[in-house]
């Protein structure tokens, strides 16, 4: 099977995730979309790994999964903290970094 | 021991006294610091006598001894030693300084008894005497300048001794600033001498000066004029005299110390010490003499009008120092230094008497408030009158012989110097008048309430207030303390005043024309190279001068008696008749106002200009403002990106990554 199809699928999933990150205001959904983007990257890595017959890409994919897990831990932690402080669950409300 | 060893001891004891009090004052109870300081000066006085005896053992031509402790500064081809020069002039000055300072210390032991800064006061006092002794014993210009600067610092510390009193602090600053002007003159003069002669040691400089410079050489005249600037600043001569009357803010014994033993005599000493240079530069010496004369007349007229008791004595000091400067400038060295000595006796005495009176008045110094203390304080009355008689040059008192000797010298040199002499007699007349103006106004007339109270045995205890401004103040330190009991009630004060009164009476006998010539004979080795030996007046001329001076003195005292006792109110009538003249004199010829307009106000204006234009407009506005403006404009774009929205950051990130990817893709083929 040609690697192109895997890459096309990966690009679609990445684009969907990116669009979600950019357009959605619910942090939970943003986190889900980030997951999508990471997994799109994983898909591309595994596809290339298979094409070249090496295992480096698969190892990278495993590392990305670990990073994704960490990211989810932190992201969910922030969301829980917002909830506990009765803050609106809306990332546009958190714009204190405005210059 | 040799004379130089004694010289080092003279320096060592006041220094040791100062260090002991400075570091041990916590452990020294009560009046112990005062007694330590007093005995330190007394031992220094004994050492001076030792130096004198040893010096007299030497043959006359070997009486200039130099001794060096170590090399103070060494550079290529030129060394400065920490060296002292013990010669008749130095020993004479040491004797006067330590002797009179000892009595002033003794007086202070009682006078400052109720002051909270007792130990500090005596540490300063010992430091002052040490500085002055270093100045007179120095064997080269460097050590001289060190002593010179120490004296200035010590005077600053003592004038602003009551540091919570604003006027005292200002007076200290004023004295220090004017003294620094003199220091600069002295340093530049020393540099000119080093540049031309190649040495800073006194004896080689004086020996080589004749070969290096021709008479009235321009450089030498400049150097001598700069030396005069130094001398005038220390000795409070025109136009650098304004600090001395303000120095009355210090405690009264400090005034006595500054005026009698230390500090103001330094200028006279400097001219006497560097006399070989001044004799090679007669122009500079003449300028010195003329300024001395101008100062003595100026100060004499001001002393007629000022009503602050201490300031009258201060102006009389300026006037008497004028005589000394005039004397040493016209090569009447023996006479000038003789007057320095007698003046030290009677001026210290007058200040002590004034301190006693001020103590009785609980700090009030205004003569308008005083009167009739004759019965209340008989001892002060007698000693003060003796001091005033000596100051006035009343026949047979100390000032009679010394002052008229200077004038006789001038008349004898003839020409323009006769004018100096005749005007000097005018000054003598003024002196006699204002001396007895003080006596008559303070001790005669109707007793004021304080005097009556004192006759009953009580001492007035006033509210703490500033004698200059009359404002109440909480100085916490100082006089009038709540427990003060000065006003001739304690024996140390009486002992000091009595000794000085005796000296003021008999001091003149050291140099009676035709009979004794102790001072000039003793100082001979220092001044043997003088070119003006033959100008010394004959005994007959001196006796004639004494007769004229004595007559003028009696005349002045008589006039004062007529104005203040016979016809009381004459002074008031005169003041009302001539308000302009009186204002002119009371305001001290407007010197302070002149300096204010010439220096203080332009400096303040320049400061305000710098503050407003240079600092605010240029530095703050252009340089700092311009830099921040550039940064602010440059960062406005970066700030616009920072919206704070997570989505916007994500989009930017994405666009960036996409851009980079595109770039590498396009370049990779």
pLDDT of residue B52: 86
Nearest CA in chain B to A96: B644
B7-22 confidence digits (pLDDT tens): 888 888 999 988 988 8
* Whether residue B489 sits in one domain with residue B355: yes
CB atoms within 10 A of CB B659: 10
Q: Which of B644, B651, B654 sits opposite A97 (nearest CB)?
A: B644
pLDDT of residue B497: 83
pLDDT confidence bin for B477, thresholds 50/70/90: very low
Helix, coil or strand: residue B68:
strand
* Whether residue B379 sits in one domain with residue B511: yes
If you average pLDDT over residues B236-258, what whole number do you get?
A: 83
Tokens (6 digits) for B362: 């609980």
Q: Which of B535, B568, B586 is the last residue of a domain?
A: B586
Total domains present in chain B: 2
A18 touches B at CB < 8 Å: yes
Q: Which of B639, B640, B651 sits opposite A22 (nearest CB)?
A: B651
Domain interval for residue B492: 3-586
Cis check: omega of the bond before B239, within 30 degrees of 0: yes
- CA distance, residue A13 to nearest chain B CA (Å): 15
pLDDT confidence bin for A42, thresholds 50/70/90: very high
- Core vs surface per residue B591-603: b (16+ CB within 10 A) or e: beeebeeeeeeee
Tokens (6 digits) for A55: 């295992």
Helix, coil or strand: residue B473:
coil
B611-659 confidence digits (pLDDT tens): 888 888 888 888 888 889 889 888 888 888 788 788 888 888 889 999 9
* Whether residue B604 sits in one domain with residue B580: no
If you average pLDDT over residues B327-338, what whole number do you get?
A: 83
Q: Which of B638, B643, B651 sits opposite A98 (nearest CB)?
A: B643
Contact residues of B toward A, CB < 8 A: 638-647, 650-651, 654
Instruction: Confirm if B325 and B267 have CB atoms less than 8 A apart.
Output: yes
If you average pLDDT over residues B574-578, what whole number do you get?
A: 75
Instruction: Confirm if B410 and B533 have CB atoms less than 8 A apart.
Output: no
Taking an 8 Å cut-off on Cβ atoms, the answer to whether B654 and A22 are in contact is yes
CB within 8 Å of B624: residues ≥ 6 apart: none
The Cα–Cα gap between A10 and A23 comes to: 20
Cα distances (Å, whole numbers) of residue B245 to B2, B257, B303, B339: 41, 14, 11, 21
Q: Which of B541, B560, B586 is the last residue of a domain?
A: B586
Between B466 and B554, name the one with better pLDDT. B554
If you average pLDDT over residues B299-319, what whole number do you get?
A: 85
- CA distance, residue B632 to nearest chain A CA (Å): 12
User: What's the N-to-C CA distance of chain A in angstroms?
Assistant: 50
If you average pLDDT over residues B276-301, what whole number do you get?
A: 85
B583-619 confidence digits (pLDDT tens): 777 777 777 788 888 888 888 899 898 888 888 888 8
- CA distance, residue A50 to nearest chain B CA (Å): 22
A1 touches B at CB < 8 Å: no
* Whether residue B651 sits in one domain with residue B533: no
Q: Which of B545, B570, B586 is the last residue of a domain?
A: B586
Between B100 and B78, name the one with better pLDDT. B100
Q: Is the model's pLDDT at B486 over the cut of 60? A: no
- Which of B644, B655, B661 is the best residue to mutate to test the A interface, defined by the most A CB atoms within 10 Å of its own CB? B644
pLDDT of residue B293: 86
CB within 8 Å of A32: residues ≥ 6 apart: A20
Q: How many CB pairs under 8 A join A and B?
A: 35
The Cα–Cα gap between B492 and B229 comes to: 38
Of all residues in chain B, the percent with pLDDT exceeding 90 is 3
* Whether residue B614 sits in one domain with residue B512: no
* Whether residue B626 sits in one domain with residue B569: no
pLDDT, averaged across chain B? 82
Q: Is the model's pLDDT at B508 over the cut of 80? A: no
* Whether residue B627 sits in one domain with residue B496: no
Q: Is the model's pLDDT at B481 over the cut of 60? A: no
* Whether residue B620 sits in one domain with residue B567: no
Q: Is the model's pLDDT at B535 over the cut of 70? A: no
B108-158 confidence digits (pLDDT tens): 888 877 777 788 888 998 999 999 999 988 888 888 899 989 998 988 988
pLDDT confidence bin for A39, thresholds 50/70/90: very high
* Whether residue B194 sits in one domain with residue B47: yes
Q: Is the model's pLDDT at B533 over the cut of 70? A: no
Taking an 8 Å cut-off on Cβ atoms, the answer to whether B647 and A21 are in contact is yes
pLDDT of residue B489: 66
* Whether residue B612 sits in one domain with residue B559: no
* Whether residue B582 sits in one domain with residue B604: no
Q: What domains appear along chain A, each with residue ranges and CATH number?
A: 3-88 (1.10.287.3510)
A16 touches B at CB < 8 Å: no
Q: Is the model's pLDDT at B546 over the cut of 90? A: no
* Whether residue B581 sits in one domain with residue B454: yes
Q: Is the model's pLDDT at B453 over the cut of 80? A: no
């Amino acid at each position: 099977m040609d690697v192109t199809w895997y890459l096309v699928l990966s690009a679609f999933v990445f684009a969907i995730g990116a669009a979600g990150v950019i357009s959605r205001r619910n942090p939970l959904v943003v986190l889900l979309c980030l997951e999508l983007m990471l997994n799109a990257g994983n898909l591309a890595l595994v596809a290339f790994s298979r094409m070249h017959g090496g295992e480096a890409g698969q190892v990278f994919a495993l590392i990305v999964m670990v990073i994704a897990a960490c990211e989810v831990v932190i992201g969910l932690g922030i969301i829980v903290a917002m909830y506990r402080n009765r803050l609106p669950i809306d990332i546009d409300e958190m714009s204190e970094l405005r210059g | 021991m040799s004379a130089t060893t004694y010289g080092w001891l003279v320096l060592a004891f006041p220094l040791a006294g100062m260090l002991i009090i400075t570091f041990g004052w916590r452990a020294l109870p009560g009046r112990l610091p005062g007694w330590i300081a007093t005995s330190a000066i007394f031992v220094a006085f004994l050492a001076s006598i030792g130096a004198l005896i040893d010096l007299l053992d030497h043959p006359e031509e070997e009486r200039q001894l130099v001794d060096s402790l170590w090399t103070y500064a060494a550079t290529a081809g030129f060394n400065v030693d920490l060296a002292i020069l013990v010669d008749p002039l130095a020993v004479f000055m040491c004797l006067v300084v330590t002797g009179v300072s000892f009595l002033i210390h003794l007086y202070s032991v009682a006078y400052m008894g109720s002051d909270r800064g007792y130990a500090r006061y005596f540490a300063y006092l010992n430091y002052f005497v040490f500085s002055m002794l270093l100045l007179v014993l120095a064997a080269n210009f460097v050590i001289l300048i060190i002593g010179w600067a120490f004296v200035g610092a010590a005077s600053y510390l003592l004038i602003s001794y009551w540091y919570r009193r604003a006027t005292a602090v200002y007076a200290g600053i004023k004295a220090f600033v004017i003294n620094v002007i003199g220091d600069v003159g002295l340093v530049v003069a020393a540099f000119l001498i080093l540049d031309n002669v190649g040495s800073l040691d006194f004896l080689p400089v004086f020996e080589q000066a004749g070969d290096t410079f021709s008479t009235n050489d321009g450089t030498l005249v400049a150097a001598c004029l700069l030396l005069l600037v130094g001398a005038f600043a220390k000795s409070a001569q025109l136009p650098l005299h304004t600090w001395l009357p303000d120095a009355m803010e210090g405690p009264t014994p400090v005034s006595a110390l500054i005026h009698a033993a230390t500090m103001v005599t330094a200028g006279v000493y400097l001219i006497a010490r560097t006399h070989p240079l001044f004799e090679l530069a007669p122009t500079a010496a003449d300028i010195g003499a003329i300024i001395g004369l101008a100062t003595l007349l100026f100060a004499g007229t001001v002393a007629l009008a000022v009503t602050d008791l201490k300031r009258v004595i201060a102006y009389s000091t300026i006037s008497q120092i004028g005589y000394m400067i005039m004397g040493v400038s016209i090569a009447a060295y023996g006479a000038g230094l003789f007057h320095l000595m007698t003046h030290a006796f009677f001026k210290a005495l007058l200040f002590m008497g004034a301190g006693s009176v001020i103590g009785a008045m609980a700090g009030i110094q205004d003569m308008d408030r005083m009167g009739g203390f004759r019965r209340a304080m008989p001892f002060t009355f007698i000693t003060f009158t003796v001091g005033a008689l000596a100051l006035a040059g009343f026949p047979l008192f100390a000032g009679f012989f010394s002052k008229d000797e200077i004038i006789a010298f001038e008349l004898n040199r003839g020409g323009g110097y006769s004018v100096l002499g005749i005007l000097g007699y005018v000054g003598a007349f003024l002196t006699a008048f204002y001396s007895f103006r003080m006596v008559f106004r303070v001790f005669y007339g109707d007793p004021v309430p304080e005097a009556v109270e004192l006759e009953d045995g009580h001492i007035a205890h006033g509210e703490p207030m500033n004698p200059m401004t009359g404002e109440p103040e909480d100085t916490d330190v100082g006089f009038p303390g709540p427990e003060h009991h000065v006003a001739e009630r304690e024996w140390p004060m009486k002992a000091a005043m009595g000794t000085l009164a005796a000296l003021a009476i008999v001091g003149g006998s050291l140099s009676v024309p035709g009979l004794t010539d102790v001072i000039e004979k003793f100082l001979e080795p220092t001044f043997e190279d003088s070119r003006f030996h033959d100008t010394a007046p004959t005994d007959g001329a001196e006796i004639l001068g004494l007769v004229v001076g004595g007559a003028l003195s009696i005349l002045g005292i008589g006039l004062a008696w007529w104005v203040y006792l016979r016809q009381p109110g004459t002074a008031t009538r005169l003041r009302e008749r001539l308000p302009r003249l009186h204002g002119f004199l009371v305001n001290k010829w407007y010197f302070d106002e002149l300096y204010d307009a010439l220096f203080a106000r332009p400096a303040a204006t320049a400061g305000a200009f710098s503050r407003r234009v240079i600092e605010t407009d240029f530095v703050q506005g252009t340089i700092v403002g311009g830099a921040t403006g550039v940064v602010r404009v440059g960062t406005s774009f970066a700030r616009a990106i920072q919206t704070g929205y997570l989505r916007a950051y994500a989009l930017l990130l994405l666009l960036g990554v996409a851009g980079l990817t595109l770039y590498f893709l396009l370049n990779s083929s």
